[in-house]
Amino acid sequence: MTGANLSEDLEKYCAKPMLEETFYILSKKNCVYRVKLIEKGLCLQKEYNGVVKSEIISIDDIIGCRCMRGKRLSNNCVCRPIQAKFNDPKVVDLKSQDIDENDISAYLYIYAYVLKNLKLLKSGQKREKMTVTLRFRGFERYEDNMKEAQKWKSTLKTLMVNRKMALSRKRSWEEGDGVNGPLTNGNMLVIPLIVSSDDYIILCDGVNGALTNGNMLVMNPCVTSDNKILIVLNPKSGVGKAREFFQSRVVPILTDAEIDYDVHVTSCPNDARNLMRKADLSKWKRGIVVLGGDGILYEIINGLMERPDWLNVLQTITLGIVPCGSGNGLAKSISHMSQEPHDQNPVLVSTLNIVQGVSTPMDLIRAQTKSQVVFSFLSIGWGLLADIDIESERIRAVGSQRFAIWSMARLIGLRTYQGTLSFLRVPEHKLSEHRKRSVVHSMSSQSLNFLSPLPSSKSFHSDSIDLETETPRTDCTISRHDSFHSVASVKSSFHSTGAGSSYQSLHEVGPVTMYGPTSVLPPLHQSLPSTWEVVEGEFIMVHAAYQSHLAGDCYFSPRSELYDGIMWLFYIKAGISRNNLFHFLLGLASGSHVKVPGVEMVPVQAFRLVPHSTGSYIVVDGEVVEYGPIQAEIFPGFMNVFATGDTKS
């Protein structure tokens, strides 16, 4: 796109603003900002010495906004030094005891994480925080200035909620009371979308987005007592830095987004599973978020499936993950599908997934052994990769590098296993649809920017912009209204703690009932239909994957999507050369392993594995299950996860 076309597009987007105001920078003479709030975000038009530059901060990049008030200066020292920066106002929350009653200004802080192009980075892109401060002081009274700031905040929040409504994909909704399901009224659907402490429910028709009355969105107040997420934190994940990451990296983003939360710190194996099975989840309707690795999410999902109300829970609660473990396959897969620069800052990108609150369906796999049923979201493995995953636990302290180190050890001491692998191949017509979607997704990936493409000029701003209106206008008496809830009301509640807690592979959880969708497969002791294909003999490995990544640096199944209804079954028979096997392991980081001779990759709907020799493990989502026959089947889009971006074209 040329500079001229870019300018024309910006002018087009900014032509019909919902709100518009002129601001100034005190430290720069002749510098004027025309700030416009438009459907696609915040338009900044800078005029300086006759030169006009424009930029749009996408609504998809904005995570929150807060109204603030000037802080009362300390009287401890009469000879107070002059502030070094005119554009660095000292502000406090509206409910603070330190407000400056003499300051008539009202401040609106807008927080965004914009995508920056950085040549020095391998990925070339990175999310960086930008704070825009709008100081309203055009009226003589503080109350009028605050009403103006609140109007901007209210309109911006409405746009954010409306955008999330348009992007959220709930797999299915049953008629209900607005809490356990949507209210229906003809073609009108009221979805209880919980966003933050003063947000709204948008009325929409379920197809075209929000219903409007002229230029006004139809809104109802949202019940605030249930607007929380539950954060389940595993303090022993990975190298044991989950607590540190939460306090230093996650909490500031949740605060800026005004998201209330409770925290549960796991204290023993299966603590998270037991919590999910027994807890009243109605207080966490916004979602449940894991701070840890894939193993703790496995506990969460299987705990939910042990509830009698499992179906309602899966339909109404969205799950999320912030990677703090050594195996972070799902977090990387979500970022990969969303075209987000995950590797530069995995915790940041994944937390933004949660804050954006876009619910996306994900496939769920039902796996059955002789004595138990478990549910899976990542992979099922036997042989080489399963051995590496489990045996490398002894060097967990080195983090994700443990997989690479143990891979070399297993290559040197290569093992083979006797077994029978049976599978039901995906029909060709369904596979053709998958190929078409993949092509469209690949073609559109260049234009994806967080949640939607939006033309913008090269940013002329640093990480913060502080703007203010002119001095009071005495000829205006405008009454406007909105509300603001103090972010100070956001409290974290630690439901359980345990300094000596540890996290291990799955232990016995006692006599519980596993619910879930009914299997369509024959019992393990019965024969399979003749339509199934069978491979017998000596195997190096068998691994079924349904996410693109098994770990942050393991691009195992390049063709997998979050909800395509396909398991990609990989198997390697004995007889493959060590050189090819070495290139298989080497190619896991880039996805090139799928082209190595001797590596078979089959799209399946279901499979059964019967080991005939011992010495390995059967691993589901990184957790060891009963060794012996196992069969699995896929239920497409059966649960929901937080995922920004268009994860399925």
Provide the 10 A C-beta neighbour count for residue 267. 17
β-strands 567-573, 533-545 pairing: antiparallel
Q: H or E segment at 464? A: strand 464-468
82 and 138 co-located in one domain: yes
CA quadruple 271, 272, 274, 276: dihedral, nearest 10 = 160
Q: What is the pLDDT of residues 87-135, one digit of tens each?
A: 456 888 888 888 888 899 999 999 999 988 876 666 678 899 999 999 9
For residue 55, what are the CA distances in angstroms to 154, 461, 509?
22, 9, 55
533 and 397 co-located in one domain: yes
469 and 605 co-located in one domain: no
Predicted confidence (pLDDT) at residue 442 exceeds the cutoff of 90? no
Percent of the chain with pLDDT over 90: 52
**CA-wise closest residue to 260 among 190, 355, 340:** 355
43 and 116 co-located in one domain: yes
DSSP summary character for residue 394: G
Q: What is the pLDDT of residues 363-388, one digit of tens each?
A: 999 999 999 999 999 999 999 999 98
Cα 252–253–254 angle (5° rounding)?
A: 95
CATH of the domain at 522: 2.60.200.40
424 and 525 co-located in one domain: yes
Last residue of a domain, one of 437, 465, 485: 485
**Cβ–Cβ under 8 Å, residues 135 and 41:** no
Residue 625 maps to a domain: yes
558 and 468 co-located in one domain: no
Mean pLDDT of the region 218-242: 70
3-state secondary structure of 425: strand
DSSP string computed for 265-289: E--STTHHHHHHHHS-GGGGTTEEE
For residue 301, what are the CA distances in angstroms to 202, 216, 320, 352, 501?
29, 40, 11, 22, 21
Mean pLDDT of the chain: 78
Q: Is the dihedral of CA 284, 287, 289, 294 positive or negative?
A: positive
**CA-wise closest residue to 616 among 417, 449, 445:** 417
Q: What is the pLDDT of residues 605-646, one digit of tens each?
A: 999 999 999 999 999 999 999 999 999 999 999 999 998 765
Q: Answer with the residue of higher pLDDT: 325 or 149.
A: 149
Predicted confidence (pLDDT) at residue 497 exceeds the cutoff of 70? no
**Total domains, the chain:** 2
539 and 617 co-located in one domain: yes
Q: What is the pLDDT of residues 184-207, one digit of tens each?
A: 333 333 333 333 333 333 333 333
Cα 277–280–282 angle (5° rounding)?
A: 125
**Cβ–Cβ under 8 Å, residues 628 and 420:** no
Q: Answer with the residue of higher pLDDT: 164 or 191.
A: 164
Mean pLDDT of the region 439-460: 39
Residue 156 maps to a domain: yes
Position 136: which residue type?
Answer: F
**Cβ–Cβ under 8 Å, residues 571 and 417:** no
**Cβ–Cβ under 8 Å, residues 509 and 339:** no
Instruction: Kindly report the length of the chain.
Output: 649
Q: In the numeric block, which tokens belong to residue 263?
A: 């925290």
For residue 524, what are the CA distances in angstroms to 259, 354, 382, 541, 633?
46, 39, 17, 21, 13
460 and 565 co-located in one domain: no
Q: Is 583 exposed, middle or buried (0-12, 13-18, 19+ CB in 10 A)?
A: middle
Mean pLDDT of the region 594-612: 98
- Distance, in Å, from the CA atom of 373 to the CA atom of 88, rounded to the nearest integer, reads 58
- Distance, in Å, from the CA atom of 554 to the CA atom of 223, rounded to the nearest integer, reads 42
453 and 415 co-located in one domain: no
pLDDT at 301 (0 to 100): 98
- Distance, in Å, from the CA atom of 330 to the CA atom of 333, rounded to the nearest integer, reads 5
Predicted confidence (pLDDT) at residue 457 exceeds the cutoff of 50? no
For residue 61, what are the CA distances in angstroms to 42, 125, 128, 208?
10, 14, 10, 22
Last residue of a domain, one of 440, 468, 485: 485
pLDDT at 645 (0 to 100): 62
Q: Where are the alpha helices (DSSP H) in 138-291?
A: 142-167, 242-245, 251-256, 271-278
Residue 191 maps to a domain: no
Q: In the numeric block, which tokens belong to residue 326?
A: 């050594």
Predicted confidence (pLDDT) at residue 76 exceeds the cutoff of 60? no
pLDDT at 375 (0 to 100): 98
pLDDT at 475 (0 to 100): 42
- Distance, in Å, from the CA atom of 205 to the CA atom of 174, rounded to the nearest integer, reads 15
**Cβ–Cβ under 8 Å, residues 99 and 142:** no
pLDDT at 648 (0 to 100): 46
For residue 251, what are the CA distances in angstroms to 55, 238, 261, 489, 649?
29, 20, 10, 14, 32
558 and 471 co-located in one domain: no
392 and 469 co-located in one domain: no
3-state secondary structure of 609: strand
**Cβ–Cβ under 8 Å, residues 391 and 405:** no
pLDDT at 164 (0 to 100): 81
pLDDT at 463 (0 to 100): 63
Residue 589 maps to a domain: yes
pTM equals: 0.79
Position 4: which residue type?
Answer: A
Predicted confidence (pLDDT) at residue 265 exceeds the cutoff of 80? yes
Provide the 10 A C-beta neighbour count for residue 429. 8
| Domain that residue 576 falls in | 380-429+513-642
Predicted confidence (pLDDT) at residue 494 exceeds the cutoff of 60? no
Residue 26 maps to a domain: yes
Predicted confidence (pLDDT) at residue 518 exceeds the cutoff of 80? yes
DSSP summary character for residue 494: B
390 and 517 co-located in one domain: yes
Percent of the chain with pLDDT over 70: 72
